Structure 1
Amino acid sequence: MRKVFLMFCCLFVLQAVFPQQNPDSLLPVRGLAIAAPYPDGVDRFVRFIDEELAPRKVNTLILRVDYNYQYTSHPELAEDNALSEADVKNIVAVCKQHNISIIPQINLLGHQSWAGSLGKLLQVYPEFDETPHVKMPEDYKWPNEDGLYCKSYCPLHPEVHKVVFALVDEITRVFEADAFHAGMDEVFYIGDEKCPRCGGRDKAELYAGEVTRIRDHLAETGKRLWMWGDRLIDGKTTGIGMWEASMNNTHGAVDLIPKDVMICDWHYERADPTAVYFAMKGFDVVTCPWRREEVAVKQLSQMLDYRAHSTSEMKSRFRGMVHTIWTGADNFLDLYYGKKENKDEQGDQADCFKVLFDEINKLGSPGSARGPKS
């Protein structure tokens, strides 16, 4: 009951302090981050964009594509039954119709495996593995003796960027995107002592070097890098811990990477106010909730407050909200339309998305500006 009471208090404050103002000025970025659908789900996903995202005033769509595309640059990395160019163009067309900017995502550096399975990159190119001595278990459990959460590729391997940058260039071209999301979250394996290239090196410098290399490659064609912000936060000093912040000393990279990187600051259990930290470091930042409605509403209230009461220099760095979805597109739509019952006792990501954007919609009617590049 206390959580419900607090949520309604936040709603009251939002409605009282920000009555019927233009959300383009209040929240330049109003986004959804979700996995791209598979081919048999494209038509349904397009209808969802047309009938749900557009009326809810979403103007930014981060699509986790990874290897769910029929790459021509590296066809060996495409998943079975991956999206075709025609499938992608159907998604692009409906987003153009509604002035929704698409930001495709491929997980770079970390998240090269999940549970007991390698991702496509390390399946095909095992030489890129940062920790080849860590074998994938048949029965994955956490915690484990190897500290295996997800594998990473070695950022200093001389051939890795030739491969992944070809994918980045192809996916941004087919989605007609002016920005790219590189993931970069939850990197537990970096600078492994047994790596012949990375062993003994400073983890913050390694992480910053990879971020900068990706950013510089995108900048060559006028595109912007977006990334998750957790590895740039000191998990020990803040008490945030190893998941939503770093406990392996990558956080020093925050002072080493270019300031034009867009930070996606995700917190799911509490509304930790780290957006202020990133803005004070000179970065543009969006706040990213997931499944707890009371947390999402509090984060929205914070973001509006930051923009309303900051200096002009700081205000422009608080860019808005991006709701994250951590299930497949088809499963999310089943939850969204009530075809499946949510069984997660910790919250419902579909309902959380609805609550967040219902509150955003109460702020007023948006203008016609396309989701921002900057």
Structure 2
Amino acid sequence: MTAKSLAAVVVAVGVAFRLFGADIDFRPPCVVPAPMEMSYQADVAVRLDDAVVFRVACSDAKAVGWVCDKAKAWWGVAGESRFAAAAEDENAQTALPPGEESYALSAKPGKIEISAASLQGVRYAMYTLRQIAERESSGSVLKGYWLPALEIKDAPLLAFRGIHLCWWPEMPNGFVERQIRLAAYYKFNYVVLESWGVFRSERHPQFAAKDAPLSVAESRRLAALATDLGVVIVPQVNVFGHAASARSCTGKHATLDFHPEMQPLFEPAGGWNWCLSNPDATAVLRDYVDEVHEAFARPPFFHIGCDEADPPSCPRCRASKPYGKLVAAHISSVCDLLKRRGARAMMWHDMLIKKGDGRWKGFYAHGTDELDGLIEGIPKDVVVCDWYYGSDPGGQDKTGGETITAQFPTLDYFAASGFDVVTCPWRSVKGIAAQCAYAREKKLFGVLETVWHHFRGAEFADMAMASSNGAWRGGKTGKCGKWTTPFAVHWRQLGWDMDVKDYSATGYYNSQVTREILDR
């Protein structure tokens, strides 16, 4: 062999050696929400295999077991001896960011170290680790999982990080559970779950269809699952407008469409409001709220709706002057019930401020003259959920070219009135970032991202990822390239956890072609 041909062989072997394992270059880790502090070594691999050891520094006795269970389920790492609590002088003194949800994560060859202030922080460290870990293959064989060596310190800037999910009758079984799992994976700590006629009440079965999927037993199962994942389900029952899951925009009424005998409980003009002058209606509502709160394992919050109510149409309700005091008395009675059960009420903001008031121009205000006295009459421990669905109301001054800081006068008003306030964005990524930043700057109670009927598609991916980053980082966004790509991977991972086999439940959309195209 000539020197030239020998050199060619050496080069070829060197290239093959680099391609098949000698040289590695991990891409920048993509985590949702993005950690506050992260450094990594792209050329140093950490394998999640049977040789790796997990050390967990956390005072919660359940922490090691939780890590052990998830490592086995996600990466096939087995053997209890590989999982242990860190000794008091080993990793336990790792400086953590402030807060009960903070964590530190270290990944080195052969060793994963987690330090956390609570089990919740341990969960978040593991969710971060799972999002970063990639498959390692040998040809066509899944060899295992690996990731770059790294150091992370992380903690949320907002305490209440919620996402509002609707359970529509049209949703397939298992879909909402997957959304709840996604909320936990993206480090939301609350899911407000609004049933649109799907909760199968045992005390008041007329409020849902006979085959409604959300039984009391299923509610308890979901609440227990959510608790294990680190998220609290906050159920919602509308106690004013949208009565019994009614929507005037669709004309559907979960109760009156099938039970005309129930008409006395609702206002005669469409039945969109509860008839609050009828003591039977308010008594039934309190009993229903009691049942739903119990079904979801007595969470610390309960959403009572109260948005987009119509003016009174019942002769007795119309004669109540002012009507706002009647509504306030009803809301207060529900709040008192919840307080006795150890929960705080949450409610939408729009009926508390008057439509046409110049102070709220550009924001949502649906209050009327009939509702005078409403805001003064409700308890101050109600958490006001202020929804604003526009883009950033700041921007560029067209005359001077200066940047205008976003202002949210409704948020300021409710906070100044003595209420805890969560800001509630929807759809607009810029709006989400602006509202989360405002919540951090003004030290508001938190953020509640709304989804409504946009629970599929790339838009839902954008909302979920933007609000996760915004709520965790106080308005700052993460950098993961095109957001739909990591979302698809995360949604797929949750499908693996649930053993999803339904094609329509994969990806961003139920189908890749519409019925209209198929029928051509």
What is the TM-score normalised by the length of structure 2?
Answer: 0.53
Summarize deviations over 1:198-227 as a string: whole Å, max 9, x none.
425113222212211211222222222111
Equivalence for 1:368: none
Shift, 1:103, TM fit: 0.8
| Counterpart residue identity of residue 267, structure 1 | Y
Shift, 1:305, TM fit: 0.6
Equivalence for 1:28: 159
Equivalent positions of 1:114-125 (< 5 A) are 114=247, 115=249, 117-123=251-257, 124=259, 125=262
| Counterpart residue identity of residue 237, structure 1 | D
Does 2:220 match 1:79? no
Shift, 1:292, TM fit: 1.1
Does 2:469 match 1:358? yes
Match of 1:262 among 383, 388, 412: 383
Equivalence for 2:432: 296
Equivalent positions of 1:292-331 (< 5 A) are 292-307=428-443, 318-327=444-453
Distance 1:246 1:37 in 2: 25
Of structures 1 and 2, the one scoring higher in RCO (CA 8 A, sep 6+) is 1
Summarize deviations over 1:211-250 as a string: whole Å, max 9, x none.
1121122222222211101111233224536982134132
Distance 1:208 1:264 in 2: 17
Equivalent positions of 1:137-148 (< 5 A) are none
Does 2:312 match 1:205? no
| Counterpart residue identity of residue 432, structure 2 | A
Greater Rg by CA: 2
Match of 1:283 among 414, 419, 425: 419
Match of 1:165 among 269, 274, 286: 286
Match of 1:189 among 294, 305, 311: 311
Shift, 1:22, TM fit: 5.8
Structure-2 change in CA distance of 1:67 and 1:251 (3 Å): same
Structure 2 spans left out of the alignment, 5+ residues: 1-33, 38-96, 102-155, 394-407, 477-520
| Counterpart residue identity of residue 181, structure 1 | H
Match of 1:180 among 285, 297, 302: 302
Distance 1:97 1:127 in 2: 42
Match of 1:152 among 273, 278, 284: 273
Shift, 1:286, TM fit: 0.5
Distance 1:258 1:48 in 2: 32
Match of 1:61 among 188, 191, 194: 191
Does 2:266 match 1:129? yes
What is the TM-score normalised by the length of structure 1?
Answer: 0.73
The secondary structure found in structure 1 opposite 2:279 is coil
4+ runs deviating over 6 angstroms: none
Distance 2:289 2:351 in 1: 21
Equivalence for 1:344: none
Equivalence for 1:92: 223
The secondary structure found in structure 2 opposite 1:30 is strand
Shift, 1:77, TM fit: 2.2
Structure-2 change in CA distance of 1:62 and 1:74 (3 Å): same
Equivalent positions of 1:339-350 (< 5 A) are 348-350=459-461
Summarize deviations over 1:134-190 as a string: whole Å, max 9, x none.
3x5xxxxxxxxxxxxx72121110210222222111111111123221100011223
Distance 1:122 1:88 in 2: 24
Distance 1:37 1:248 in 2: 30
Distance 2:211 2:236 in 1: 18
Distance 2:356 2:325 in 1: 19
Match of 1:231 among 334, 351, 360: 351
Structure-2 change in CA distance of 1:175 and 1:41 (3 Å): farther
The secondary structure found in structure 1 opposite 2:316 is coil
* Larger strand proportion of the pair: 2
Shift, 1:37, TM fit: 6.1
Distance 2:378 2:287 in 1: 22
| Counterpart residue identity of residue 119, structure 1 | H
CA contact (8 A) 1:102 1:175 kept: yes
> How many residue pairs were aligned?
304
| Counterpart residue identity of residue 53, structure 1 | A
Distance 1:253 1:242 in 2: 22
Match of 1:49 among 177, 180, 183: 180
Equivalence for 2:61: none
| Counterpart residue identity of residue 104, structure 1 | P
Q: Alpha carbon RMSD of aligned pairs, Å?
A: 2.9
Summarize deviations over 1:60-87 as a string: whole Å, max 9, x none.
0000024312211012222243112332
Equivalence for 1:214: 334
Distance 1:126 1:240 in 2: 35
Equivalence for 2:234: 103
